[in-house]
Amino acid sequence: MNKKVLIEEMASKSDLSKAKIEETLNLAVDSMKKIVKKHKKLQLVGFGTFTLKNRKARNGINPQTGAKIKIKASKTCGFKPGKAFKDYL
């Protein structure tokens, strides 16, 4: 599924236009990104928890050449599904 299909699914179950749903979805996603970046955690009860994680710098290997490379430290987002979401699946 992609964003377009999600918007169509939401539109079929509401009286809102696809444009209004897309605008609302974009606002929600942008807000979620800002919250995770600022507070390092966003918990949506019944759905799951998004957490900001830090990856340490590490050594790696270029799979095409076999050369050793250094991979910089970076940030990533983790997701842990909530109990209700896991039970639904």
Q: What digits encode the pLDDT tens for the residues 4-20?
A: 999 999 999 999 999 99
pLDDT at 38: 93
Which residues partner with 61 through β-bridges? 68
Instruction: Write out pLDDT tens, residues 72-84.
Output: 999 999 999 999 9
Coil vs helix vs strand at 24: helix
Q: What totals of helices (H) and strands (E) does the chain contain, helices first?
A: 3, 5
pLDDT at 59: 96
Contact call for residues 40 and 25 (beta carbons, < 8 A): no
Residue 46's contacts (CB-CB under 8 Å, 6 or more residues apart) are 82, 84, 85
